[in-house]
Amino acid sequence: MWQFILTVVITAISLMIIAKLPLGIEVDGFNKALMAGVVFGLLNATVYPVLAFLAFPITFLTLGLFSLVINAIIFAIAAALVEGFSLKNGFWSALLGTIVLSILNSVLMQIFNALF
């Protein structure tokens, strides 16, 4: 449970940082970012495995690059579900946001694990 809460908080912090970058992603506040983090967690636990299973042939043919598209779809679904979290440029914002979110989450997790 603590790992999920930590992941949600780190995702929220990453989303707040991403909202400051010119990627076409808007977050209205930290509360909305926390809600988006929870939605990301739930979507990654439920929808992502189904999409990954269905898209396995395409992912295999593209040597795993299609998984970025699946992550962008999850990002766009989260933006559609959470009011106050939006994408200005549609799919391209979701794709860039997914890449930057994964990098920021990795860096912040490493920093947190080094501190504690």
Please check whether residue 102 lies inside any domain of the structure.
Answer: yes
Structural domain contains residue 41: yes
Of the pLDDT bands very low, low, confident and very high (cuts 50, 70, 90), residue 99 is very high
Q: Is residue 116 part of a domain?
A: no
Q: Do 42 and 36 meet the contact criterion of CB atoms below 8 Å apart?
A: no
Tell whether 7 is covered by a domain.
yes
* Residue 23 belongs to domain spanning: 2-108
Tell me whether residue 57 is in a domain.
yes
Question: So what's the pLDDT on residue 11?
Answer: 96
Which pair of tokens denotes residue 52? Answer: 């990954």
| 116: pLDDT strictly greater than 90 | no
CA nearest 97: which of 14, 5, 39? 14
Count of structural domains within the chain: 1
Domain contains 113: no
Residue 96: pLDDT over 90? yes
| pTM score | 0.92
**Residue 46, domain member (yes or no):** yes
CA-CA distances (angstroms) from residue 112 to 3, 29, 53, 73?
Answer: 12, 22, 32, 28
